[in-house]
Amino acid sequence: MGVAIETLNGTIEGTAQNGLSVFKGIPYALPPEGPLRFQAPAPVPAWDGVRPATSFSAAPPQLPLAPGMPAVWRPEDGLDCLSVNVWTPGGAGDRLPVMVWIYGGGWKTGYSGDPGYDGEVLARGGVVLVTFNYRVGFEGFGFVPGAPANRGFLDQTAALTWVNENIAAFGGDPDNVTVFGESGGGASVASLLSAPAARGLFRRAIVQSIAGRYLPEEEAQRISVLIGEAVGVGPGDFASVPPEALLAVQDVALPAMREDPSHWTTPEAITAFSPVIDGVTVVDKPWLAIRSGCARDVDLICGYTHDEFTLFAMQRGLVKIKPSALIKAVPMMLSMARAGLRERASRRPAQASAKTRDLNLDTVAEGLGLGRQAAIEYRSAYPGLTDPQLYVTMFSDALFRMPATWLAEAHAAAGGRAWLYDFMWSSPAFGGALGACHTMDIPATFGHTQGPLSAFLFGGKAPPQDFTRLSEHLRASWFSFAASGDPGWAPFTTEKAMTRIWEVEPSVAEDPLRASRRIWHKESGL
């Protein structure tokens, strides 16, 4: 059965689904093609008649997440991707809390139509749930002379503006919007806290696993030059290059970053793209920008998964996986990526031993901007860990855990209300080798295990009952925060670093990462 809503641009018709009204593929900006490519999002003109809103729009241009996985974007899909989706249990006049999700994906992948981001379960909790697409990869974050930087962030602001202007018709309260996201999505939320154009568009923010890498403009320009050389064009000619050609060379800068990490922002980069500190859209690293108090009126939750970097360390052969666990995982891995993963799985133990022998934590510490003494301090602070495990700990701290902590510290110091969490529930995949890895909190947040990511995290099996209970606890906390600004645990203050421990039975601990915080404060001054 169709459900019609009148937006500022015209009438749309979605579907009724067991007490919810669902609308998909609503445009919030014109397709970024032709003269609009690499430009700020352009407003959508009004339309006559009724526009169907029953299917997701095209995804932003991107490659599959892993070789062999289905492509979510093909060249024939075009660039008509700037759209929002709404799941609502209410109607006009209800003024329900609104939650707006921003996906992650290393700044080069991500799509609001991913089944893992289906909003049905969250909406049934009593909120209006919104997801949307924004440009990723070179289209959204590549340096283009004469074009605005951080076009993906400009898309996000345009989508939030659409929410502010239209969400009341869907039963939402435009004055009670919570923006939340994970990884690159979490970093997006953190950046929006200090973005001048986004002020007043949301009241609360949840930053999950902030990706703590931000680029100076000079570095973004160097990456753009390498990509331009790879496709044979000069800096000013990117508009003549089709998206699929840029996608084919989007990682061309990564070998240079890994071979000479001292000349790049951070080693172990998993993507050439990151937000650019341009002084306009991104005024500074978020934990520095909000020290001014510019976001003190926004309530903030931020946190991390406890073993953030294991997911990436596994790809580098630094997480040991028992052969029996690998054998069990092969069918699941093949279902995700049928091209080459069996071979990679069979090679991984040998790779691990070779890389373990070459591991030099002193060099790692220097590459992270810490002195060589930091490696000694890490060994002293975590005496039970092997060098590969310390490597994972150091990168978990550098890329995710410390930036989340610094964000809470800065917000509290500026007079804002902040809460911090540590998600500790471990993935059962690969015999538990991944621990509480990066992305493990996404299925807990959305309350279901649809899609390839969940298949990977749960080893292709149904989630255990204890995970279901944990998800219920976490979602109840997020709902409470969205409705009232109180997630249900003690806030983080400058005097006490209170932290929610997300396990089957949640608890609260004071400063669980005090050893890492002490090392980073001593070495970096943060």
Q: Which residues are catalytic?
A: 183, 308, 438
Tell me the DSSP string of 299-326: EEEEEEETTTTHHHHHHTT-S---HHHH
H or E element in which residue 454 lies: helix 452-457
Residue with tokens 């139509």: 113
Supply φ then ψ for residue 381, to 5 degrees: -75, -30
- Give the C-alpha separation, 325 to 308, whole Å: 20
**C-alpha of 143 from chain center:** 21
Supply φ then ψ for residue 15, to 5 degrees: -125, 155
Token pair in block for residue 315: 């790809």
Pairing of strands 299-305, 418-423: parallel
- Give the C-alpha separation, 82 to 132, whole Å: 7
Helix axes 341-358, 323-336, angle to 10 degrees: 130
Number of helices (H) and strands (E) in the chain: give both, helices first.
19, 15
- Give the C-alpha separation, 134 to 456, whole Å: 25
For residue 131, give the nearest of 115, 113, 153, 116 by alpha carbon.
113
Rg of the chain over CA atoms, in angstroms?
22
Token pair in block for residue 503: 């396990």
Angle at 61 between CA 56 and CA 66, to 5 degrees: 95
- Cα separations in angstroms, 190 against 117, 206, 433: 20, 8, 30
Supply φ then ψ for residue 53, to 5 degrees: -135, 60
